[in-house]
Amino acid sequence: MKITRIIERPVHLKSNISNALVNFSEHTVSLVAVVTDQIRNNKPVVGLSFNSIGRYAQSGIINRRMIPRVAQEPADALLDENGMICAEKVLACALRNEKPGGHGDRAAAASALELAIWDLNGKLQDCPVSQLIRQRYRLDHDGGRVFVYAAGGYYYEGEGSRKLKDELRSYQDSGFTMYKMKIGGASLQEDTRRIEAALTVAGAGKNLAVDANGRFDLAAARAYAQGIQPYQLRWFEEVGDPLDFELNATIASEYEGPIATGENLFSHQDVKNLALYGGMRRNHDVFQMDSGLAYGITEYARMLNEIERRGFSRKFCFPHGGQLMALQVVAGFGLGGSEVYPGIFQPMGGYGNTTQVVDGMVNVPDAPGFGFECKPELISLFANMIG
């Protein structure tokens, strides 16, 4: 078995929203297709993926550094003991001659490549990626159903809290029981009004999380922590800069409710530092690393190892991502639950029309690979690039 071609294409997200720091109207994502010499139904088997959502397309790194390294590698050197293409070996090959540390855009670039191999192997073995993960890491949980929550509650230019309530109500109508909204893009007073409006739909603080997207310095973080404490929210996300573990630890020692972070940590070394120095409380605070931004599933397994060996539970992992790849990772590793972006960040966000949310849970699709085929608009983008 061998890879015959790897293709990358940057595409724009359909989005006119913003959080506290980022306006998504300029956002792009790298689609990756790994074409093989294996034929099914008269067509080559192709592994598909993208580098999650939120860190831009990585065309330069993928095309100029990673694809040439993988293309030059002897085909046999990329196979595992069963003769399948090995995601771990492809990742190691893509990273050859890269210095350690500084895990930024390169981590997202490598993710797209690594995840495409999992999709490929799912298609070759006619099983979902969640099942491949359970086999590879010898996990015996069921994983057929996953808790999901609706992430949204963005700032819409010129719109007040009525639009926010309508948005959350639409998620409620489609079966969600927990919601997340952005904070930090307005004053504390205005955000407090928005939270109270959201709670009229969510019903209770435990059904609502807030996300500051790493915006706050210590003074602002403290002011918000005090301001939102009475609402007993599900969690307070990315309070300060994702790498400011001292700030995270300080807020964790002062704010009673759970805090959540990790979506902008891209290596197991960074996650180790969070576990050691970030003040995270066991069985209370939430880890949100995203395999689509951080070297893929191989690295995600290493991250889980870092937290579990320090007494944290994978049930407190709720990955960032909001797309099918993250859902399969949550089901495969038996994590706490998954974020989903219903209706936004299309065509990458969400799970497609065949997956229904009932009482905040979904049945994980059992289509081969990541199951992108249930998202026709996304599949047509892939089809265009493969030609």
Crossing angle of the two packed helices 87-94 and 297-308, in degrees rounded to 10: 100
Helix or strand holding residue 5 (H, E): strand 3-12
In whole angstroms, the minimum distance from the beta carbon of 265 to Mg ion comes to 12
In the bound state with Mg ion, the residue whose beta carbon lies nearer, of 119 and 290, is: 290
Contact string 196-225 vs Mg ion (x = CB under 5 A): ---------------x--------------
* Helices assigned H by DSSP within the chain: 59-60, 67-72, 87-94, 105-125, 129-136, 161-173, 188-202, 218-228, 245-254, 268-277, 297-308, 324-333, 376-386
* Residue 89 falls in the annotated catalytic set: no
Residue of 103, 182, 268, 375 marked active site: 182
C-alpha 274: how far from its chain's center? Answer: 18
Using the 8-state DSSP alphabet, how is residue 63 labeled? Answer: I
| Pairwise CA distance, residues 363 & 158, whole Å | 37
In whole angstroms, the minimum distance from the beta carbon of 339 to Mg ion comes to 8
User: How many other C-beta atoms lie within 10 A of the C-beta of residue 124?
Assistant: 18
Contact string 160-199 vs Mg ion (x = CB under 5 A): ----------------------------------------
* Residue 284 falls in the annotated catalytic set: no
Residue with tokens 């700030």: 247
Residue of 27, 272, 320, 375 marked active site: 320
- Residue 339 touches Mg ion, criterion: CB under 5 A: no
| Pairwise CA distance, residues 220 & 214, whole Å | 11
In whole angstroms, the minimum distance from the beta carbon of 110 to Mg ion comes to 21
Structure tokens at 282: 């066991």
DSSP string, 132-169: HHHHHTT------EEEEEEE---BPTT--HHHHHHHHH
In the bound state with Mg ion, the residue whose beta carbon lies nearer, of 121 and 248, is: 248
Pairing of strands 361-363, 145-151: antiparallel
Residue type, 6: I
In the bound state with Mg ion, the residue whose beta carbon lies nearer, of 128 and 240, is: 240
In whole angstroms, the minimum distance from the beta carbon of 211 to Mg ion comes to 4
In the bound state with Mg ion, the residue whose beta carbon lies nearer, of 183 and 275, is: 183
Give how many residues touch Mg ion by CB under 5 A: 1
Q: Which residue's Cβ lies closest to Mg ion?
A: 211
In the bound state with Mg ion, the residue whose beta carbon lies nearer, of 179 and 382, is: 179
In the bound state with Mg ion, the residue whose beta carbon lies nearer, of 8 and 211, is: 211
Nearest to 18 by CA among 138, 147, 172, 156: 156
Q: What is the contact surface with Mg ion in residues (CB under 5 A)?
A: 211
Q: State the catalytic residues.
A: 182, 320
